[in-house]
Amino acid sequence: VACDKHGWALAYTVEAGNIHDSQAFSALFVKLEPFSPEFIIADSGYKTPSIAKFLLEKGITPVFPYTRPRGKKDFLRP
């Protein structure tokens, strides 16, 4: 489901439970594109380099959640 800043649904897709969000993005974006979004705020399921590149090429600013660096705890810390 894609919503506007007031929470109104603008577009949606229904996919099987075994389909990852990133695979369903293009179908959702086709329905969302006529609204000419300036920003797309999405959860981590849509946070892929290809989706980010696609949105930036369209002039849309992607806003994704912060991902904490992974690795050994306290690595390179005094």
Domain ranges of the chain: 2-63
CA nearest to 67, candidates 44, 42, 41 = 44
* pLDDT number for residue 30: 93
Q: Work out whether the CA dihedral 67, 1, 53, 45 comes out positive or negative.
A: positive
What's the whole-number mean pLDDT along residues 49-54?
95
| Confidence check: pLDDT of 76 > 70 | no
In this prediction the pTM is 0.77
* Cα 76 off chain centre by: 31
Neighbour-count burial of 22, counting CB atoms closer than 10 A to its CB (0-12 exposed, 13-18 middle, 19+ buried)? middle
What's the pLDDT band for 77 if we cut at 50, 70, 90? Answer: low
Residue 67: the pLDDT is: 82
Average pLDDT of the residues in 18-43: 91
The overall average pLDDT reported for the chain is 88
